[in-house]
Amino acid sequence: MKHSIHLYSLIGLSVLVVACGRSEQSQQAEAERISQEYQKKVEAEEKAQEQSQKQAGTSTTPFKLPPRPEDTPEPVGPPPNVELMTNPDLIAKELLSKDSQQRLAAATRLGVLSLQTKIPDSALQRLINTFNADSDQRVIDAAAHALGQTCHPTAMLVLSNNLQRNVSDVNSQAIVELGELAGFRVAEALDVFISKLDDSNSVKATTLRKQAEAAKAKILSRNGSPVCAS
């Protein structure tokens, strides 16, 4: 009797396992069927969209980022008339122009405005950069004169530091500005500069020596009193 009960139990368990296995297989088959139907639906929608675009005469184009500022071409047209401008920052931006004549006009205009009002530091810095790095000697000289007109301590220091350059790189207009505006301390710096020129007989060294001596004489004629703080 016990053996019969055990046998029936095993048979029942086997039937249950087979039924569960068939159930799992059915579920897997159903999942695969649903996945295939969904894939067909997606493909059909893509095909319909492509067909619609062809009928409308359009084509898909890849997304492009907007151009960077440096990639944007410069506006075409005549440059602004700097002589009529009154905003120092806008004028100073013209110091970056590719046209040397425009840069010259901008430096000159900043010098004129500096006699009327204090120009902002941003414009002053552009002027200093122009004095130190422009490729046109006329623009550099105009920037040196404009720096002198600002009477700004930083500008006077830049002009004074010009004396420490190699002789071939010294700007003569900066020496003229120092003579017109600086004080006794710069007169001493001019003395050192003149001594440095004694070892050179080049044409430029001779010219610079004369300009430095004249600038020193002007400062001493004011008893060393600066017109601008140096």
pLDDT of residue 7: 45
Helix ranges restricted to H, the chain: 2-56, 88-93, 100-116, 121-133, 137-150, 153-161, 172-181, 184-197, 203-221
Q: Is pLDDT at 46 greater than 90 in this prediction?
A: no
The angle formed by the CA atoms of residues 75, 79 and 85, to the nearest 5 degrees, is 120
Bigger pLDDT: 118 vs 29: 118
- Residue 48: pLDDT band (50, 70, 90) is confident
Residue 209 amino acid letter = R
- How far apart CA 39 and CA 215 sit, in angstroms, is 89
Structure tokens belonging to residue 118: 């204090």
Q: Is pLDDT at 229 greater than 70 in this prediction?
A: no
Bigger pLDDT: 17 vs 140: 140
- Residue 47: pLDDT band (50, 70, 90) is confident
- Residue 119: strand, helix, or coil: coil
pLDDT of residue 41: 67
Please tell me the CATH code under which domain 79-150 is placed.
Answer: 1.25.10.10
In the numeric block, the tokens 């009327």 are attached to: 116
| pTM exceeds 0.75 | no
Structure tokens belonging to residue 22: 């068939």
